[in-house]
Structure 1
Amino acid sequence: MRGTVMLIDDEAMIRQSTEQWLKIAGFEVQSFEHAEAGLAALDDQFPGIIVSDVKMPGMDGLALMAEAQRRIPELPVILITGHGDVDMAIKAMREGAYDFIEKPFVPERLVETIHRACEKRQLMVENLRLQQNLSSQSGLDAKLIGISPSIQRLKRELLKCAELDTNVIIYGETGTGKELVAQCLHEFSGRAAHNFVPLNCGAIPEALIESELFGHEAGAFTSADKQRVGKFEYADGGTLFLDEIESMPANLQIKLLRALQEGVIERLGSNQPMSVDLRIVAASKADLRSDDQFRQDLYYRLNVTQLHIPPLRERIEDVPLLFAHYARQAAGQHQRELRRTTAQDIQNLQQYNWPGNVRELKNIAVRYALDGSLAVADVLYPQEPMMSVEPEESTLSLAAQVANFESKVLGRSLSRHQGNIKAVLDELDLPRRTLNQKMAKYGLNRSDFLPESE
C-alpha cells in the first residue's frame, strides 16, 4: 500500500468515485460523509493523511483541519473545494493545509499530491516510533544507536570480538565513533571490571608518547620530578585503546611490538621489568597493511580481528534516531524543553552528506536543541548558497544540479522567514503561482517552517 487516506466529502458521487480512483492507485481509503464522523475515527495512532472537502454541512474542512492537527501535530491535510478562490487558498495554507486543490481536479494530480503527503506522514510516524523504541533500549543497543543493516552487523561482530579477548583493529573515518566502539568492546568483555584506558597517538608530542605509554621513574629525564604510571601499567587487566595508531613514531612501534610479544614493559629510567596483561584495541583511518610507515610485524600482532565502522552517509536511516538522541541528551543536560523535529527537518538531515560523520551530527543536534530560533537547515547550511557545484553533485546532470540548487534556495528562504509566504515572494521576486508549483515540485510545505508556537 502507498499509504492510508481518510477521505471526507458530503457529495456521495464525488466521494465514491474519488475513493475508487485512490484504491486503484494503491491507497488504503477510509471514507466519511461528514467531518464529525471522520474525527470520531481519528486517534493518535492514525498512520495516514486527510483529504477533505471544504464546504460541508456542519463542521467545514478548515475547522476539521484545525481539530485534526490539534490532535496530531503536522498531520498532512489536503483540502478540496469547488467554491475556492485565492483568498481561501492562502488562508488554508496559512493555517497549515498541506495543499489546496480546486474542483474539478485532475485525478493524477490529486494522486501525486496524496503520495507526497503520505511519504511525509510515514516519515513522521517512523521517526516517532524509533524515538519511542530508543527510550526503552538497553545494553549494546542503547550505546551503538542505529537500525541500519550495517550498524546491526557491527553490533553482532563486536559482541563476538568481545568474547574472544584478542587484539582488535577498528577502521573508520574521522568522527564515526571508533572510541565508542572500543569502549563497548571493553564493557562487553571479560575485562569490564578493569580499566579502559584511551590514548590518542596523534595528539601527543613524539618526545612524550613513550613516557605516556610506559611511564617513567623520577629523574628519568629533565622534567621527570616524580614517578609516573604509564598507560600500559594503568590498563593492566583491562583494555588499552590506541587511537590514530598510524601516527605512532617508528621507534616506538618497535617497543610496542616487544611489549605485546613478551607481555613485559619497563618504565623509562628503570631496569625493572613488569608483566602486564591487557587487550590492545587500535584504531586507524587508513589501511595499516598498505601503510609503508607502519611496521608489518606490528600490524600482524594487532590484526587478530578487525571491525569496520560505516560512515554516516552509508547508514542514513540512522540519522533521525541519532539526532533525536543527542538533542534529547543536550536538552536534558541544560534543562531545556525538548524541541520537536518536523518532517522537513528530518528530510534535510537525511539529504545531507555528513562529511564529519556522527561527531558532526552530535554538534548540530546540540546547537539545534539549545537555540530555539534555529531550524535544522540553518545549522546544516549556515552560509548563503553559492552558485558552485559540490563534489558529490558533480556527476549529476545539469538539470538535476539546477533543481537541487533551486530546492535549497527555496527551503532556506522559507526557513529564514518562518513560513511567511509573502516575505518569500518578495525576497525571491516570484509570482505566487510559480512559488506554489515549485514548493509542490520539491516537497516543501509551509507548515514545516512555521514557528513552534503556531
Structure 2
Amino acid sequence: MSAELSAKQNAAYQVLLVDDEQHIRLAVGQTLELAGYEVKTAESAEQALKVLDKDWSGIVVSDINMPGIDGLEMMQRIKEIDQDLPVILITGHGDISMAVGAMRDGAYDFIEKPFSSELLNDVVRRAAEKRSLTLENRELRKALEEQGGLGPRIMGNSAGIQQLRSMIQHIADTPADILIQAETGSGKDLVARYIHEHSNRREKNFVAINCGAVPEHLIESELFGHEKGAFTDAKSRRIGKFEHANGGTLFLDEIESMPLSLQIKLLRVLEERAIERLGSNELIPLDIRVIAATKVDLKALSEQGDYREDLYYRLNVVSLDIPALRERREDIPMLFHHFALIASAQYQKEVPQLSTDKMRALVAHNWPGNVRELRNIAERYVLLGNAYNFDIGQQESTLSDRKMTLPDQVEQFEKVVLEEELSRNNGSLKLTQEALGLPRKTLYDKMKKYELDKRDYK
C-alpha cells in the first residue's frame, strides 16, 4: 500500500497523545501526523481525561511514567469511561513487566522505548481500525434497537423499506386482503407476520400455509377442514386453516402454486367470508384477513391462462412489493449485524469483528438468495469466525477491490445506484428522478459528476 493511500485512510482516525515531556509529544506527534492521523496532545493525564468520552472516535497513546496520575491509573479511568477504548502504553526498559500486567488489565498494546516509526504506526493503525469497527457496531446496535420491539421487524433505512413500513402503517388495521410480491428469500413470511403483529388482530391466530408444499389432494382439506367420514381417511372432524385463523390472519404463501380447481373455491370464500367444511353443508362465517404471497408475476400468469384473473384482482386489493436485497445495499451492514447477533445468542459464540474488505464484499454481492442468503452467511461467520471466507463466489463487482477511503466508497456506490436506476428506466430521467427521490437539478448534477449519459441506457 502506498504511503499516500495509507495517509488518506488514516485521516479518518484520531489519536490522543499523552506525555509530560514536550519533545516526546512533538516527535511522536509529528510521526503520527505524517502517517495521516489527526493528533491531539495532552501534557498530563488530568488534561487528557477532560477530552475523552464514550463517543471519542480515536485511540490513546500514553507514556506510563508521568507525575500525578500515571499512565496505568489513567488507563483504568479511561476504561471506566469506555471499556472498549484502545490505550497504547509507551514504556521504558524497566517497565516491561508493568506493561505486560497492564495488558492483562485491558491495555491494547505497549511500545518499548526506543521505537521505530514503523512499529508505532503499525500498532496505532491496528488499534484505530479496531476502534472504528467498535463504533460502527455500536451504531448498528443503536439502529437495531431503534427499530426494535417485540415480534417480527422489517429492518432497514433504505427508501424502499421505509416506504414499505409506511404503507403497512396505513393498512394494518383495515380488513383489506393483501398481496405480497417479492423474490425468493426476500422475507415475505416476515412481512406477513409483521402486518399481523402490528394490527388489531394481533391477539388472534396468525396461520401460515405454503400452497406449494401441500399435495394437491390434501390442500382443500387443509384449508377448509372436513367432517368425520367426508372421505376414506377422515376418521374425525378436522378444523381447517381458515377456521383456525378466524378473527386473525391467514397467510397463503406461494399462492401461484394453488391448483386451478381450488382457486374458484378460494375466490368464493374471499367474497362471501364463509366456508363449508368438506362433508358439511353448514356455512361457517369468517372474520379474517387473507395475506397472499407470490414470487412470480400473477398478472402475467393470469393473462397466460395459468391463474384465475378474477382471483388475482380479488387478492390484489393492496399490493406490497418487497425490494430485493441488491436494490437496498445500504441496509446490508445493519441486517448482517442483526443476523450475527441472533446467531451469537443461539450458539453462545462471540461475533468476530468484520473487516472493511469483507463488508465491502457483502455490499458488492448481487444476493440472488436475498435476505435468506445473507442470514445464512452471517450464521456461518459466527460459527467459523474469520476463517470463513464468505462463499459468495467470484463475481464481477463495480466496487473496486483496492483499498478505498470512505468518501471514495460512497461515491462509487452512488454511481452504481444511478447506473442501475437509469438502466431499469431505459434512460428516463423523470422515472429515475422519481424512483430515487431526487430533485431534477440534483440528478443532473450527479450525472454530470459521474459522466453518465441517459442515451447509454436506452
TM-score, scaled to structure 1: 0.64
2:61 counterpart of 1:52: yes
The 5-angstrom pairing of residues 261-300 of structure 1 reads: 261-291=271-301, 292=304, 293-300=306-313
- What is the alpha-carbon distance in structure 2 between the residues aligned to residue 310 and residue 82 of structure 1? 58
- What is the alpha-carbon distance in structure 1 between the residues aligned to residue 147 and residue 132 of structure 2? 22
Worse overlay, 294-303 or 115-124:
115-124
2:32 counterpart of 1:30: no
- What is the alpha-carbon distance in structure 1 between the residues aligned to residue 152 and residue 47 of structure 2? 42
Letter of the 1:197 counterpart: V
> Paired residue for 1:322, among 317, 329, 338?
338
User: What residue number does 1:127 align with?
Assistant: 137
Q: Contact between 1:3 and 1:118, CA under 8 Å: does it hold in 2? A: yes
User: What residue number does 2:96 align with?
Assistant: none
User: What residue number does 1:438 align with?
Assistant: none
User: What residue number does 2:98 align with?
Assistant: none
Superposed displacement of residue 242, structure 1: 0.4
| Distance 1:268-1:116 versus aligned 2 partners, 3 A rule | same
Q: Contact between 1:202 and 1:247, CA under 8 Å: does it hold in 2? A: yes
- What is the alpha-carbon distance in structure 2 between the residues aligned to residue 104 and residue 306 of structure 1? 64
Superposed displacement of residue 299, structure 1: 1.6
2:418 counterpart of 1:394: no
- Matched length: 378
Secondary structure class of the residue paired with 2:269: helix
| Distance 1:70-1:381 versus aligned 2 partners, 3 A rule | farther
Superposed displacement of residue 14, structure 1: 6.1
Superposed displacement of residue 69, structure 1: 7.4
2:227 counterpart of 1:211: no
Percent identity for Structure 1 against Structure 2: 44
User: What residue number does 1:439 align with?
Assistant: none
Q: Contact between 2:344 and 2:351, CA under 8 Å: does it hold in 1? A: no
- What is the alpha-carbon distance in structure 2 between the residues aligned to residue 62 and residue 375 of structure 1? 36
- What is the alpha-carbon distance in structure 2 between the residues aligned to residue 113 and residue 152 of structure 1? 41
User: What residue number does 1:305 align with?
Assistant: 318
- What is the alpha-carbon distance in structure 1 between the residues aligned to residue 108 and residue 42 of structure 2? 19
- What is the alpha-carbon distance in structure 1 between the residues aligned to residue 81 and residue 399 of structure 2? 43
- What is the alpha-carbon distance in structure 2 between the residues aligned to residue 345 and residue 104 of structure 1? 27
Worse overlay, 173-182 or 391-400:
391-400
Q: Contact between 2:204 and 2:247, CA under 8 Å: does it hold in 1? A: yes
List runs of 5+ in structure 2 lacking aligned partners. Answer: 1-10, 94-101, 404-458
Superposed displacement of residue 139, structure 1: 4.4
| Distance 1:163-1:178 versus aligned 2 partners, 3 A rule | same
Superposed displacement of residue 116, structure 1: 8.0
| Distance 1:100-1:248 versus aligned 2 partners, 3 A rule | farther
Q: Contact between 1:51 and 1:80, CA under 8 Å: does it hold in 2? A: no
The 5-angstrom pairing of residues 135-146 of structure 1 reads: 139=149, 143-144=152-153, 146=155
TM-score, scaled to structure 2: 0.63
User: What residue number does 1:6 align with?
Assistant: 16
CA deviation string 1:394-418 (max 9, x = no partner) = 35699769xxxxxxxxxxxxxxxxx
Q: Report 1 or 2 for greater relative contact order, CA contacts < 8 Å, sequence distance ≥ 6.
A: 1
User: What residue number does 2:182 align with?
Assistant: 172
Superposed displacement of residue 253, structure 1: 1.9
Superposed displacement of residue 55, structure 1: 8.8
2:168 counterpart of 1:158: yes
Secondary structure class of the residue paired with 1:306: strand
Letter of the 1:252 counterpart: L
Secondary structure class of the residue paired with 2:59: strand
Q: Contact between 1:145 and 1:322, CA under 8 Å: does it hold in 2? A: no
Superposed displacement of residue 254, structure 1: 2.3
Superposed displacement of residue 43, structure 1: 5.9
Letter of the 2:308 counterpart: R
Superposed displacement of residue 351, structure 1: 3.7
Q: Contact between 2:59 and 2:131, CA under 8 Å: does it hold in 1? A: no
Superposed displacement of residue 124, structure 1: 1.3
Secondary structure class of the residue paired with 1:344: coil
| Distance 1:169-1:99 versus aligned 2 partners, 3 A rule | farther
- What is the alpha-carbon distance in structure 2 between the residues aligned to residue 188 and residue 398 of structure 1? 41
Letter of the 1:306 counterpart: S
User: What residue number does 1:427 align with?
Assistant: none
Secondary structure class of the residue paired with 1:163: coil
Worse overlay, 300-309 or 126-135:
126-135
CA deviation string 1:403-454 (max 9, x = no partner) = xxxxxxxxxxxxxxxxxxxxxxxxxxxxxxxxxxxxxxxxxxxxxxxxxxxx
Q: Contact between 2:344 and 2:350, CA under 8 Å: does it hold in 1? A: no
| Distance 1:97-1:351 versus aligned 2 partners, 3 A rule | farther
| Distance 1:40-1:260 versus aligned 2 partners, 3 A rule | same
**What is the CA RMSD across the aligned residues, in angstroms?**
5.0
Secondary structure class of the residue paired with 2:354: helix
Superposed displacement of residue 23, structure 1: 8.3
